[in-house]
Structure 1
Amino acid sequence: MLESFLKVIGEYGNPVPRYTGPRCLVERLAVGGCDLCQQICPHEAITIDARVEINDTRCTGCGLCTQVCPSGALEFDVTAALGAVREQTVPERRSVDGSVDDGAKLVCSQAGESGKTLPCLARVTSSLIVAAGAWDTPLELVHGDCADCKLGGPQVPQELQKVVEQAQQLRLATGRPAQVTVRRGNGEGAGGEAVSRRGVFGSLFRSARSVVSELVPDQPLPFVDWSVPQERVPAEWQWRRRALKPTPPPQAAVYWPAPVVDDKCILCPVCANVCPTEAIAREFAPDGTITLHLDLAACTGCDACVRSCPPDAMALQGEWAEADFAAPVLLRDSTSV
């Protein structure tokens, strides 16, 4: 028992999200920058100068900063929560009392209920809900008393609702919305004084028996190798695309905010330079033609290119045809300038 518990604590030992500088709009020098993570952090754990800095003694790992980060510069491991939901989709999975449980459940650590447990439901992302829809699995999300919680805070239900709405917009193209329910737990949460990393560990030790069996493992993410193009795209957006099942028809409207370009474009390199995932490529052909291409699946819709465009020639388009994901989209070329 002790060995298993210590193993879980080891997996849970680093609640600070991974920061990938090249994806950050601040480091990309996008016009207007971005301070969403700093604004939403309930513990004043984030400071921004030339880059984002996280105070790991203040950070509780609630996940709010990762929910609002428009480019995936801040992230936790989404595969752990996805795996926890997937485990609960096994046919004829039976609960302790012998009844058939045909849905999945994720519980906030402060909700006072049993179930696969996340530190805070601010860890829930759109890809998780999109995937639950793909697996045709009803998903129940149970939070604690957020108004009085010092691990996440009162913003959590509102931000979680935004995540659910975004996921449902994505699933519209499949014709099969996700079955998701959000409710408050029946137990007593942890209010009172602010919770630090020490407080998180204290909470775990007080409920060691349930932690061993229910806590979703939380391991630090490895360093992003920027030389590998696939790693430039955050796992969250990769899973949003991967979990868009059943595959929409070729001309189906898929909700995926991404830039389009109008006639004011001068084919300068600014949009490509500020793109946090390098989804926009400015290329030169042997005949001297300049083109701008967009890798739609790599675009996070962060709006950096739109805000930074010198001639104000870009805007976000909310919906794209499924067929647009098959190959790079031509945004502009010098023959049309």
Structure 2
Amino acid sequence: MLRGVLDRIGELGNLVPRYTGPRCLLERHAVGGCSVCVDVCPHEAVRVNDGGYGVEIDPERCTGCGLCVSGCPTGALEYDLLTPLESVREQRGGAQHGASLTCPQSGAGGPALPCLGRVTPALLSAAGAWNVPLTLIHGDCAACPVGSAEVPAGLARVREETERLRAATGQPARVTIRRATPEDRDRRHQVTRRGAFATLLRAGTQQALQSLPERPLPFVDWSEPAQRTPDEWAWRRRTLKPEPAPEVGIHWPAPVVDDSCIDCPVCANVCPTEAITRDLQPDGSVRLLLDLGACTGCMACLRSCPPGAIHEQPTWLGVAFELPILLREGDTVMERR
């Protein structure tokens, strides 16, 4: 047990996000590519590699702010999501009847992420599902050596995206974003009795108690279909609680296909999570299928479709997540003749 605690403490310096190449739109050769991670990095730590088919992160420049992760439309860049999720859950019913996350630069007490730029819709949606008010406390972001002045605006966008996602549940996430005050220095990591022991195991020391230790993420095994879906989108789906009514649309942008489709493989080839698959039939026809839960809504398929047959559908009924969606059933060989 002691070895596990010490290992957790040693993970506090894990700043560079995991990069999964097959999810990167550059590696997928999607039309228009993608440069979000390069554009949002305030420290020039992210660059497109020399071949132009992926990105590289300079560990000497990376501060772990997470702006590249929160901006990545496909989950190609990721941080450990379970640790902050557990922190929010453990704070349920604490002395302040809510949860908080801070950045160390703010001077506020309580559980801290290296930067609130790491906050994602899945984390906020989980707080909403657990009905836990969540306060995000930042410092002087314009002068911060870790993140950038864009962090508060980015948090507001994440909150808006979460509101759209959770609208179908009828139970919105109650998220407050504000700058730290002098009174916040006395904040404590409030947890329930149930969460107290787990918190001690995760932290190990009083100093570590204030900084959430990260789990090192293993490489994605692409041969396992379940691992192709980023944890961010898997948790977005899991946290849609209370369960939306069957007739209520869920905000989950994904593609639909019209009759101008020419049955080419481009959409499946560029899909960063392989949510779109082509099912070849014995008669030579092609069935185009969509796994909605695996779709990140990046719309690389839409931008890359040669005949422009793909369009975005922003909302879906819950039943659409249960089985693969038939986007198109192509003509047989005889019909094409």
TM band (smaller chain): 0.7 to 0.9
Question: 1:111-138: per-residue Cα shift (whole Å, max 9, x none)?
Answer: 1111111010011110011010000100
Question: What is the identity, as a one-letter code, of the residue corresponding to 1:245?
Answer: K
1:280-337 alpha-carbon deviations (Å, 9 max, x no partner): 0111122332110100000000111011101111121111111111111111111498
Equivalent residue, structure 1, for 2:257: 261
Q: Secondary structure at the match of 2:39?
A: helix
**Unmatched tracts of structure 2, length 5 or more:** 184-203
Paired residue for 2:120?
125
For 1:300, the equivalent position in structure 2 comes to: 296
Aligned to 1:12: 12
AA in 2 matched with 1:86: R
Residue of structure 2 equivalent to 1:40 = 40
Aligned AA for 1:232? R
Give the AA of the match of 1:10.
G
5 Å matches for 1:155-194?
155-187=150-182
Q: Which residue of 2 aligns with 1:54?
A: 57
The count of aligned residue pairs is: 309
Structure 2 counterpart of 1:40, which letter?
Answer: V
Q: TM-score, normalised by structure 2?
A: 0.88
Supply the distance in 1 between the matched residues of 2:17 and 2:102 (Cα, whole angstroms). 20
Give runs of aligned pairs for residues 217-296 of structure 1, distance below 5 A: 217-296=213-292
For residues 75 and 158 of structure 2, the distance between their equivalents in structure 1, rounded to whole angstroms, comes to 14
d(CA) in 1 for partners of 2:182, 2:224: 46
Shift in Å, 1:251: 2.1
**Taking every aligned residue pair, what percent have the same amino acid on both sides?**
56
1:81 aligns with 2:80: no
Which position in structure 2 is the counterpart of 1:195? Answer: none
Deviations 1:27-69 (A, max 9, x none): 0000111000000000000110321100000000000000110
RMSD of aligned alpha carbons: 2.1
Take 1:73 and 1:61, find their aligned partners in 2: how far apart are those partners?
15
Shift in Å at residue 272 of structure 1? 0.2
The one of 205, 212, 216 aligned to 2:208? 212
Residue of structure 2 in register with 1:200 after alignment: none
Structure 1 gap segments, 5+ residues each: 94-99, 189-207
Provide closer, same or farther for how the CA distance between residues 290 and 4 of structure 1 changes in structure 2, counting only shifts above 3 A. Answer: closer
Match of 2:66 among 63, 83, 86: 63
Q: Distance in 2 between matches of 1:71 and 1:187?
A: 38
What SS does the corresponding residue of 1:117 show, helix, strand or coil?
coil
SS at match of 1:130: helix
- Give the TM-score normalised by structure 1: 0.88
TM-aligned CA distance change 1:153 to 1:5, over 3 Å: farther
Alignment of 1:135-146 (within 5 A): 135-146=130-141
Bigger shift: residues 259-268 or 239-248: 259-268
Q: Is the Cα–Cα contact under 8 Å of residues 8 and 212 in structure 1 kept in the other structure?
A: no
Alpha-carbon distance between aligned partners in 2 of 1:149 and 1:5, rounded to the nearest angstrom? 30
CA 1:147–1:4: 2 relative to 1, 3 Å = farther
Deviations 1:259-290 (A, max 9, x none): 01112111110000000000001111223321
Alpha-carbon distance in 1 for matches of 2:4, 2:206: 12
Paired position in structure 2 for 1:108: 103
Assess if the C-alpha contact under 8 Å between 1:291 and 1:334 holds in 2.
yes
Question: Could you tell me which amino acid in structure 1 is paired with residue 57 of structure 2?
Answer: I
How far apart are the structure 2 equivalents of 1:174 and 1:46?
A: 37
* 8 Å Cα contact 2:8/2:215 also seen in 1: no
- CA distance in 1 between counterparts of 2:81 and 2:213 reads 11
Match of 2:312 in 1: 316
Deviation at 1:209, TM superposition (A): 7.5
Over residues 161-198 of structure 1, what are the superposed CA-to-partner deviations in whole Å (9 max), with x where a residue is unaligned?
A: 1111101111000011111100001259xxxxxxxxxx
Q: How far does residue 4 in structure 1 lie from its aligned partner after superposition?
A: 11
Matched AA of 2:303 = R
Change (3 A) 1:113 1:245: same
**How far apart, in 2, do the equivalents of 1:28 and 1:287 lie?**
29
